[in-house]
């Protein structure tokens, strides 16, 4: 287990962790294929860019803990922030960002079920 960013050189990603990361790439791709076919490249780029919300993991020690529920733990994964993300999805100019963040939070919430 790493205690800070310098000691995290060899993080073992097991099957569930790799599946979780794959979902963060596949679910936005499915949404884009269904709803944004005409502008899919831009839409997918925006949805993938919302993964930057995970930068708040850098504030945690350890940075990665497979047994930790991100929702409610990390600053950008708080319920109040999730409500803000839902608000972003209402307005056309920020809808993709809101959708991307909500998808991300929903996928992270799946880790809290186990």
For 34, list phi and psi in degrees, rounded to 5.
Answer: -85, -40
Six-digit token pair at 15? Answer: 């099957």
Q: Is residue 77 in some structural domain?
A: yes
Report the predicted TM-score, pTM, of the whole model to 2 decimal places. 0.84
Q: Is residue 74 in some structural domain?
A: yes
Q: Is residue 100 in some structural domain?
A: yes
Give me the number of domains the chain comprises: 1
User: For the chain, how are helix, strand and coil distributed in percent, rounded to 5?
Assistant: 65, 0, 35
> What integer pLDDT is reported at residue 111 of this predicted model?
84
For residue 40, pLDDT over 80 is answered with: yes
DSSP one-letter code for 6: G
In percent, the amount of the chain with pLDDT more than 90 equals 68
DSSP letters spanning 14-57: -HHHHHHHHHHHHHHHHHHHHH-STTHHHHHHHHHHGGGGGGGG
Candidate from 39-43, 62-66, 72-76 with smallest mean pLDDT:
62-66
Q: Is residue 45 in some structural domain?
A: yes
Q: Is residue 55 in some structural domain?
A: yes
Q: Is residue 71 in some structural domain?
A: yes
Q: Is residue 93 in some structural domain?
A: yes
Burial of 22 (0-12, 13-18, 19+ CB in 10 A): exposed
Q: Is the model more confident about 61 or about 101?
A: 101
Q: Is residue 5 in some structural domain?
A: no
Q: How confident is the model at residue 20 (pLDDT cuts 50, 70, 90)?
A: confident
Residue 80: domain span: 14-110
Scan for tokens 């790493």, then name that residue: 2
> What integer pLDDT is reported at residue 8 of this predicted model?
54
> What integer pLDDT is reported at residue 32 of this predicted model?
95
Q: Which among 76, 62, 60 is positioned nearest to 108, based on CA atoms?
A: 76
For 21, list phi and psi in degrees, rounded to 5.
Answer: -65, -40
């Amino acid at each position: 287990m790493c205690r800070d960013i310098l000691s995290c050189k060899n993080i073992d990603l097991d099957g569930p962790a790799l599946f979780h990361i794959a979902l963060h790439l596949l679910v936005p791709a499915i949404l884009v294929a269904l709803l944004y076919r005409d502008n899919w490249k831009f839409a997918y780029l925006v949805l993938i860019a919302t993964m930057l919300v995970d930068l708040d993991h850098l504030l945690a020690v350890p940075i990665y803990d497979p047994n930790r529920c991100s929702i409610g733990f990390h600053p950008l994964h708080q319920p109040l922030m999730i409500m803000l993300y839902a608000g972003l999805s209402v307005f056309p100019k920020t809808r993709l960002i809101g959708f991307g963040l909500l998808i991300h939070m929903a996928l992270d919430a799946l880790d809290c079920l186990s």
